[in-house]
Amino acid sequence: MTEQPDVAGPVVRPRRLRTTPSLRRLVAETSLEARQLVLPVFVREGLTEPRPIGSMPGVVQHTRDSLVRAAAEAAELGLGGVMLFGIPEHKDATGSGAIDPAGILNLAITDVVAEVGDALTVMSDLCLDEFTDHGHCGVLTPDGRVDNDRTLAAYAEMALAHAHAGIDMVGPSGMMDGQVAVVRSALDGAGHTDVSVLAYSAKYASAFFGPFREAVDSSLQGDRRTYQQDPANGREGVREALLDVEEGADLVMVKPALAYLDVVRRVRDAVPVPVAAYNISGEYAMLEAAAAHGWIDREAAILETLTSIRRAGADVVLTYWAAEAARLLAR
């Protein structure tokens, strides 16, 4: 029999720290907790019962009553917040329903704040796209371009309407130049100095927004490439975030999340304020479709996806899985 050589094993064995579940938990570099998650929710004017969104299994357009129940559940689960999107029955060229105190989003804000109080941060999407008949995020010039500065004036009015309704945090998401400064000035000028601003700073013209268009019954004509960012650009996302911080943003956001994890990291390294990332509809729909075919372990993939966004540097994650993830984490 041939004698086996005496070969010393490796001195450094990283696997030692992976030996048991408790040890892996002890040395985990990234945490995923319910308090870091925000649930985006849609409320539609005129509904008598929740309406399923076909391209987003498990997500619905809420009635005002079902929205309140969803917010109460989110508070009970310990989520960090909810982000409200309103869908009006009637739209017009200027998105006037966004400013109307009796508009669906403003009523929903009051409903939810009355239900959850300080137990949950109530956030609102501050943009005109759900309210305009052309589907763009701002008012248009006669030749069909988005008028940046006229849109800013509308955003200021919308911010005040949300503040009067009781909002905790507004999320200007239209990617207009100067939007954070205008919103902050309007809020402060009206005495709403405690209303926070979550700036959608690096929002890309992404193919992954597709299911969201169904969720809000979008009437978009054309595309948004003249104001949302080019997916090829990373440095530009950092520049936008830095500008928003200078203008008074309390948090900044990268949207989408998964295809832009490098931007999340760059922004996290560049700014002194909390960073959010939005795990958007197309990202949700892809995982749900794969799981429905039995191709992946759905629950494990959900938690892995959200952990990856946190690992990239996001302090806050907006995700349609927020409530489910909180339940999974509590097991």
Q: What is the mean pLDDT of the chain?
A: 95
Tell me the mean pLDDT in the region 98-104: 96
Packing angle of the helix pair 148-165, 104-116 (nearest 10 deg): 40
Whether residue 54 lies inside any domain: the answer is yes
So what's the pLDDT on residue 135? 86
Tell me the mean pLDDT in the region 304-317: 98
Whether residue 311 lies inside any domain: the answer is yes
So what's the pLDDT on residue 2? 64
Whether residue 289 lies inside any domain: the answer is yes
pTM value? 0.95
Instruction: Give the range of the structural domain holding residue 132, as residue numbers without chain letter.
Output: 34-329
CA distance 85 to 106: 10
Whether residue 38 lies inside any domain: the answer is yes
So what's the pLDDT on residue 214? 78
Which percentage of the chain shows pLDDT scores above 70?
98
CA distance 107 to 95: 16
Residue 167 has pLDDT above 60, yes or no: yes
Q: Catalytic amino acids?
A: 203, 255
- Residue 15: CA count within 13 A, CB half-sphere: 3
So what's the pLDDT on residue 124? 98
Asked if 271 contacts 246 with a C-beta cutoff of 8 angstroms, the reply is no
Name 176's Cβ contacts closer than 8 Å, sequence gap at least 6. Answer: 137, 138, 146, 148, 151, 152, 155, 227
CA distance 18 to 20: 6
Phi, psi of 243 (to 5 degrees): -60, -40
Question: How many domains is the chain built from?
Answer: 1
So what's the pLDDT on residue 1? 57
Whether residue 24 lies inside any domain: the answer is no
Whether residue 5 lies inside any domain: the answer is no
CATH number assigned to the domain comprising residue 291: 3.20.20.70
Tokens describing residue 327? 């339940």
Whether residue 11 lies inside any domain: the answer is no
pLDDT in tens, 36-69: 999 999 999 999 999 999 999 999 999 999 999 9
Least confident of 110-114, 178-182, 227-231, 324-328: 227-231
